[in-house]
A and B are shown apart, each in its own frame.
Chain A
Amino acid sequence: MRKALNKGLISLIFVGVCGSTFLMHNEVTAQSSNLFRTYKREVPQKLSETPESVAAGKKVYEKRCWYCHGIEGKGDGPAAVTMFPKPRNFTRNEYKVRSTAFGSVPTDEDLFRIITSGIEGTAMPFWSTISETERWQALYYVKTFNDQFTKDASPRVIPVGSVPSTPESIERGRELFKEMKCFECHGDDGRGNGPLTVALQTEWNMPYRARDLTKGWNFKGGNAIEDIYRTISTGFNETPMGSYLEKLSDEDRWHVAHYVKSIAKDMASDVVVKVKLFEGEQLPSEPLDENWSKATAVEIPLAGQILVSPRHWTPSVDAVMVRAFYNNDEIAFLLEWDDATNRQEEVFRDAISLQFPAKIPESLKKPYFAMGDSSGSVNLWSWKAHWQEGFGAIAEAPESEPGVATELNAKGFKNITVQPPESQNITGKGVYQNGRWKTVLKRTLTTEDVKGDIQFEVGRLIPVAFAIWDGSNSDVGGQKSVSSWYYVSLEKPVPKTVFVYVLVAIVMGASVEMWFIARLRRFPPKMEEEQE
């Protein structure tokens, strides 16, 4: 029996490997995950806190930490100018990620975990790359910056149990999110666009930004359910995010945590934006058209524009979601991005721009991904939000306003031209709703301006890059969030003949197989006489 099994396995593995070989060849390679940090919970054996370890920690700190946190721990290191959020000031009790009560200092284990795992959405890296001893020593030195560590030695740790997530629990959490007025900072849909946050940012110019709870990759201290529960229980010191330990029962805090977890999403990134053939008369031109849900959404990560000065070190938009449709005449893109405020000023307006090469590249060579270069012109589709005098901007831009959607060409940052009125072909419409801009940009597939405009062709991979300006972050000109080259591809509909081919292939495969087996059975393989 064992022998038969072995033989069977060899044959099976053989066929499996052959098959996968073919399949692998056709696989679309998606971009690797964005999450390179994980919040580690387990902490190794503590090093004893002695004057020697503090002195050794000073060396570690002055080798690795002071560039951001400052030589005196005040969060004012020389590199801090290029950061938002700013590095922690260790002379104050600003510690956010803790297992202890609001206002308390963190435990040594909390500090160790943060040093090991870093903090998502900030410049704090994961220091799991240096030895555990060095990490303990560095944190003992950091503790010397603030007396409170000696005054409240061994602070009380808030226990984290676990309660399973159920639809009822999430629903209860949603209600509590309203009752406890979480939306005042985090917004109705959790996008960090609550009225309090917006007022603090716009009227008072306070640096507090409530977390966008839909961006699961940006949670401070981790986005596991225990981490969310811990944050709700402990609050963040010296921020408007208080502790709900007293205000909510243990069970209720779990409900809220489950609700928050349910709205936190991962980034759905891919290299190619697949544009589907739209089945309908007219392509959707309204950002809120229900048809958009039928298109595949791809999220493109963005970073600050740091290629030429003025560089933007502290961008506030970190991703754009793209959907697109085409039909025989036109192509339409829906672009969505989170922006806590739609506040703008005349100069600093919310805006987005799509960039295509002016001509689909025939070879590998493309124009430079940021605004093209002298040998490669790019075609820019720019959309600007409507701006109105006064506090904040209105939510919807009238389509008729001139300059809302503009076509430009660029051959480098210093060589940008607006296309003449007769070759302006795009239309644009944007809506701001619940902390999110939704903008549609639409154009005919081909235009008469063959030199300046991208001419779309079905089945080709067409490079595309994105740029977003956030008016409330004083983004203007080169100060914007950008992506490098991605691709759009107008998908050919699957022709019916494909299924005929498949049927023929299956029949042929089966025939060959049956012929082979029949032959094998009629003339079974026999050992030659001289073999043992």
Chain B
Amino acid sequence: MPTPSTLMMWYMIMGVLAGLVYATTSNQKFVDFLSFLLPDRGPMIKSFLQKILFVGFPVLVGWFVYTWAIPGAASPVELRIQHPTLPQEFEKLENPFRQTDGETQRKCVEEGKILFQTYCRPCHGSKADGNGPFANSFRLRPINFQDPGTIATVVDNYLFWRIKEGGPGLPSESTPWDSAMPSWKDDLKDDEIWKIIMGEYDTAGVMPRQREKLE
């Protein structure tokens, strides 16, 4: 994954500040820091570094002004909320297969895995790691379900909403116009979606978040 340039910038600003703090921890250090610029009979390497610094600073200023002044086409910053709030109509739903006996559950997981491998695999990958063969083609990459920050932090209903409504069903702060997640409500029955969810958790090797018990 490429490092976001804003992150790099913050690290660098922090680096600069840390350097300044270090140089001013004692008067001695500050004097040393500045005295580097003073001419004395120092070693060859010192005068060489001084020259680099002397030439480098104006060049850097020039380069900065140049990059700032040329008309450029940087990619736009596209901020989005990855976990919007679950709409109310999905909040009360229950996965009908979670409460069944072990044998039925195992069957549902297996059926769900087959459906997952058929419909979800091209983007989300055979391992549910977001590396399917189509994954590279969408700028908003398919979610890696093995990542503990994704489906492991939400309840079953959340996935039910996302699968049923897909990208177009997202609120606008989650940029639905960029999401390649199909809306499956016309093609898959609710039962099938609940099974896919069970198969998906199993494939990714994570568990859904448990609801807090109310008193």
Q: What are the residues of chain B within 8 A of A127 when measuring CB–CB?
A: 127
Interface of chain B residues 67 through 102 with chain A (CB within 8 A): 67-76, 78-79
Q: From B43-51, B152-160, B190-198, B207-215, give the one contacting chain A.
A: B43-51
Q: What are the residues of chain A within 8 A of B180 when measuring CB–CB?
A: 303, 306-307, 369-370, 484
A367 and B177: CB pair below 8 A? yes
Select from chain B the residue with minimum beta-carbon distance to A6.
B32
Q: What are the residues of chain B within 8 A of A14 when measuring CB–CB?
A: 16, 19-20
A366 and B182: CB pair below 8 A? no
A81 to B119, CA, bound (A): 10
B13, B53, B187 pick with most chain A CB within 10 angstroms: B53
B34, B69, B123, B140 pick with most chain A CB within 10 angstroms: B69
Q: What are the residues of chain B within 8 A of A81 when measuring CB–CB?
A: 118
A506 to B56, CA, bound (A): 10
B114 and A502: CB pair below 8 A? no
Counting contact residues on chain B (CB < 8 A from A), the size range is 35 or more
Q: What are the residues of chain A within 8 A of B74 when measuring CB–CB?
A: 26-29, 272
A55-73 interface mask toward B, CB cutoff 8 Å, 1 = contact, 0 = none? 0000000001001100000
Q: What are the residues of chain A within 8 A of B36 when measuring CB–CB?
A: 4, 7-8, 10-11
Select from chain A the residue with minimum beta-carbon distance to B34.
A525
With contacts A4-B43, A24-B5, A520-B37 taken as known, whether A78 is within 8 angstroms of B138 at the C-beta atoms is no
Q: What are the residues of chain B within 8 A of A503 when measuring CB–CB?
A: 62
With contacts A306-B122, A369-B178 taken as known, whether A4 is within 8 angstroms of B46 at the C-beta atoms is yes
B112-124 interface mask toward A, CB cutoff 8 Å, 1 = contact, 0 = none? 0110011101110
Distance from A338 Cβ to chain B, minimum over Cβ atoms (Å)? 15
- Residue positions of B touching A, CB distance < 8 A: 1-2, 4-5, 8-9, 12-13, 15-16, 19-20, 22-23, 27-28, 30-39, 42-43, 45-46, 49-50, 52-54, 56-76, 78-79, 113-114, 117-119, 121-123, 125-127, 129, 131-134, 136-140, 166-168, 172, 175-178, 180, 182-183, 186-187
- Residue positions of A touching B, CB distance < 8 A: 1, 3-5, 7-15, 17-32, 34, 36, 64, 67-68, 77-79, 81-82, 121-123, 125-127, 129, 271-272, 274, 301-304, 306-309, 311, 313, 318, 364-370, 373, 376, 459, 461, 482-487, 489, 491-494, 497-498, 501-503, 505-510, 513, 517, 520-521, 524-528, 531
